[in-house]
Amino acid sequence: MKKIQRKYDFREIGNLIKEFPVTGILGPRQCGKTTISNEFKHDHYFDLENPRDLARLDHPQLALEDLKGLIVIDEIQRKPDLFPLMRYLIDNQPGQKYLILGSASRDLIKQSSESLAGRIAYYYLGGFSLRDIKKENMAALWLRGGLPLSFLPKTDKQSMKWRQNYITTFLERDIPLLGINIPANTLRRFWTMLAHYHGQIVNYAEIGRNFGISDMTVRKYIDILEGTFMVRTLQPWYVNTGKRLVKRPKIYLKDSGLFHALMSVNNHDQLYTHNKLGASWEGFALECLCKSIGKAAQEYYFWATHAGAELDLFWQEGGKNWGVEFKYEDAPRLTKSMQIAVSDLDIEHVWVIYPGNKKYKLAENLTVFPLKNVPDAWTYE
């Protein structure tokens, strides 16, 4: 199986390692965290899923205090009690470097931030993106998703089989390892139901009624899937325009391949005739844009009014407002909704991302832009 070099990620992680005592690579299981960490020259490696390495850290200070160079600790969420010790060792051993890898985000960031404030930087890796592949393989990336062992097989059938096993392993092994006691079948049914809301406004009460659980339990299950990088909840942007605004978040499954596996979409023919085609493409394009823009998850928003005007992606940079619309169309045209969004939100520029080949202007501050031409790092020109 061919290895794909992730040059952009390698460079960015390397810069963080130079600048901070601790660099945390976060991302879902099997996204390539271990592979990319092995590309850095490290002196010591601990895999906390290896019983031997886990036993070595039963007495962590004795194990770590005399080590020099770059120390890699994989699956760090299994021993969060290491963070206070790392702070002590860093403060008493100037120049010591740690590279930690984790596949559960929220609690890990909270625990490490409390202990390592000012000493740690985070990098979200995720699966392959457009910057990692040849542009002619974009359709395969969309269908199979970015997890390396899903994207790389020779056939779509092999890829789907891997994703189905991944989902089972994630639910039956990975979730319990995080101390979460929810039956695998229950969470699988919930995740599958959530896939039907992909790209839609979340109605917690409706999901709860359909699934037979409370609103709070719906939120808890979504938090679990979001905290393990399976789901993105996009929060609404509030601005006082005198209009009735949508105030509930949108939900997306982050990896398009896992979304297709949960929807039983096996190949391109099935995808192109599926009733979730537009939503699938929007979610895929959204993740590509978010990687290119490079902001933290909580810095992205959408905007919508109850009258029907909306903007799929909104963020701020350099003291200005920016936006993106996603259109699965041959040739997007200027719409009233786009004009309202630009006016109400005082947006500097909106890009309309579509699957075509040509870039063209709809207005002075509205540009249609091919998804395949999205740069490694977003530019505002």
Pair (109, 176) in one structural domain: no
> What is the reported pLDDT for 317?
96
Among 122, 123, 163, smallest CA distance to 144 is for: 163
Q: Rounded to the nearest 10 degrees, what angle do helices 106-116 and 82-92 cross at?
A: 30
pLDDT digits (tens, 9 = 90+) for 292-309: 999 999 999 999 999 989
Pair (170, 197) in one structural domain: yes
Question: Is residue 45 pLDDT above 90, yes or no?
Answer: yes
Distances (CA, A) of 283 to 40, 145, 238, 255, 261: 32, 11, 22, 8, 15
Distance CA 17, CA 122 (A): 10
> What is the reported pLDDT for 3?
80
Average pLDDT over residues 323-351: 96
Domain boundary among 124, 146, 173: 124
> What is the reported pLDDT for 119?
92
> What is the reported pLDDT for 283?
98
> What is the reported pLDDT for 150?
98
Domain enclosing residue 78, as ranges: 7-124
> What is the reported pLDDT for 215?
93
Confidence of residue 238 (pLDDT cuts 50, 70, 90): confident
3-state SS assignment for residue 106: helix
Count how many domains the chain has. 2
> What is the reported pLDDT for 107?
67
> What is the reported pLDDT for 241?
66
pLDDT digits (tens, 9 = 90+) for 82-125: 999 999 999 998 889 999 999 876 666 777 778 898 899 999 99
Distances (CA, A) of 53 to 45, 109, 130, 230, 323: 9, 23, 35, 28, 46
Pair (245, 330) in one structural domain: yes
Is residue 298 classed exposed, middle or buried when 0-12, 13-18 and 19+ CB atoms within 10 A define those classes?
Answer: exposed
User: Side chain identity at 257, as an amino acid letter?
Assistant: G
pTM of the model: 0.94
> What is the reported pLDDT for 1?
59
Over pLDDT 90: what percentage of the chain? Answer: 84
Pair (27, 149) in one structural domain: no
Q: Is residue 224 a contact partner of residue 175, using CB atoms and an 8 Å limit?
A: yes
**CATH code of residue 75:** 3.40.50.300
Pair (204, 92) in one structural domain: no
> What is the reported pLDDT for 106?
62
Pair (158, 38) in one structural domain: no
Pair (248, 137) in one structural domain: yes
Average pLDDT over residues 203-215: 93
Average pLDDT over residues 63-82: 92
Q: Rounded to the nearest 10 degrees, what angle do helices 184-195 and 215-227 cross at?
A: 90
- Higher-confidence position of 137 and 104: 137
Pair (46, 112) in one structural domain: yes
pLDDT digits (tens, 9 = 90+) for 2-42: 789 899 999 999 999 999 999 999 999 999 999 999 999 99
Pair (237, 356) in one structural domain: yes
